[in-house]
Amino acid sequence: MIVILKPHSDPEQLNSLIAWLEGKGITTHLSMGEDHAILDLMGDTAQLDADLIAALDIVEDVKRVREPYKKASRKFHPEDTVVQVGNTQIGGGSLTIMAGPCSVESEEQVVAIAKAVKASGATMLRGGAFKPRTSPYSFQGLGAKGLEYLKAARQETGLPIVSELMDISQLPLFRDVDVIQIGARSMQNFDLLKAVGRQEKPVMIKRGLCATYEEWLMSAEYVMAGGNSNVILCERGIRTYENYTRNTLDLTAVPVLRKLTHLPIIVDPSHATGKSALVDPLSMAAVAAGCDGLLIEVHNDPAHALCDGPQSLRPEVFDALAKKLFKLHAAVAELNG
């Protein structure tokens, strides 16, 4: 951490700051110039509150040199994390395809879709039981019953299931769910993050609508700080001024996160764009960018889906896409040597 001091700072206040820092085990190094002075802090600076220091009278600005996350950082954990889910692995070179309906509507529906996507090569089944809806008047999901239908579909197909947890009170219902999804709107629900950090199920954290990479990794850090290191990150589009699509898919996140963290990275082109016609080209792009997997909405009757219909693929369209994606993944792996 670097503290930029105001010109002509009061030496007494400066000494008192240095003493306070040294009391916390921080080593300081002062560099004094004509128009500014900087204080270079070394040691465990993650414990320091940069804003607090910036508020001091003698301080002009504070700049971090190191990231504020540790457990999620590749610097301290160079090898890729591979998350084991049922009989499948997320990360470590394989391509995970999580597919299924946005909303679980009935056992019949979800079992039919699960069979279809499994036949196409999907490795996990996704489906929403608790739905975060902008309007209190919209369908809010089947809740516990929806989770039961998902489990029935798992029973039929062997596909592990992933579903969104919206509130701590629902956690007991998720004991038999394979991966707990934290939705974009909950990415900074810190109590929820702590709660899923205290249990062992893998957690997939979707990126908040306007979350920076650092904030997203700090949310992963919350879960990992609680003791659960089975964390998966899912890019699902960010909010920008462009409103032709629902959000703007940020594929740069894939190589950037690859560098910053050891956690697996999934891409969700369905929610990002809200348009099923864009799922194919953007899934291809995500695989070529090096993601570990995709989250794709599939619905056997998209036009009558109870929610998010426009972004779902029909099973036959998904089938063609999934086949292409596995081939592309193999081709890219070969090209990247």
Contacts (CB under 8 A) with its own copies, residues 48-67:
49, 51-52, 54-57, 60-61, 63, 65-66
Q: Between 86 and 310, name the residue whose CB sits nearer to its own copies.
A: 310
Q: What is the DSSP letter of 313?
A: B
Considering only 142, 302, 319, 322, the residue that binds its own copies (CB under 8 A) is 302
Q: Which of 22, 76, 108, 139 binds its own copies (CB under 8 A)?
A: 139
Question: Which listed range, 78-86, 89-97, 121-129, 166-174, lies at the site for its own copies (CB under 8 A)?
Answer: 166-174
Q: Are 286 and 294 in contact (CB under 8 A)?
A: yes
Which region among 93-101, 120-128, 143-151, 218-226 touches its own copies (by CB under 8 A)?
218-226
Site for its own copies in 236-295 (CB under 8 A): 238-245, 248-252, 254-256, 258-259, 272-274, 277-278, 280-282, 284-290
Helices (H) then strands (E): counts for the chain: 10, 14
Of these, 35, 79, 172, 175, which contacts its own copies (CB under 8 A)? Answer: 35
Chain positions 64 to 83 lying near its own copies, rule: CB under 8 A, are: 65-66, 68-69
8 near its own copies, rule: CB under 8 A? no
Task: Out of 74, 115, 185, 314, point to the residue binding its own copies (CB under 8 A).
Answer: 185
Q: How many CB atoms lie within 10 A of CB 254?
A: 21
Contact flag: residue 332 with its own copies (CB under 8 A)? yes
Q: Which of 47, 78, 79, 175 binds its own copies (CB under 8 A)?
A: 47
118-129: string of b/e by CB count within 10 Å (b at 16+)?
bebebbbbbbbb
Q: How many CB atoms lie within 10 A of CB 76?
A: 10
CA distance 291 to 284: 10
Cross-strand pairs, 266? 234, 293
Contact between 106 and its own copies per CB under 8 A: no
CA dist 237 and 261 (Å) reads 19
- Residues 299 and 89: their CA atoms lie apart, in Å, by 25
Q: Pick the closer one to its own copies by CB: 121 or 132.
A: 132
Q: Rounded to 5 degrees, what angle do the CA atoms 263, 269, 270 make?
A: 125
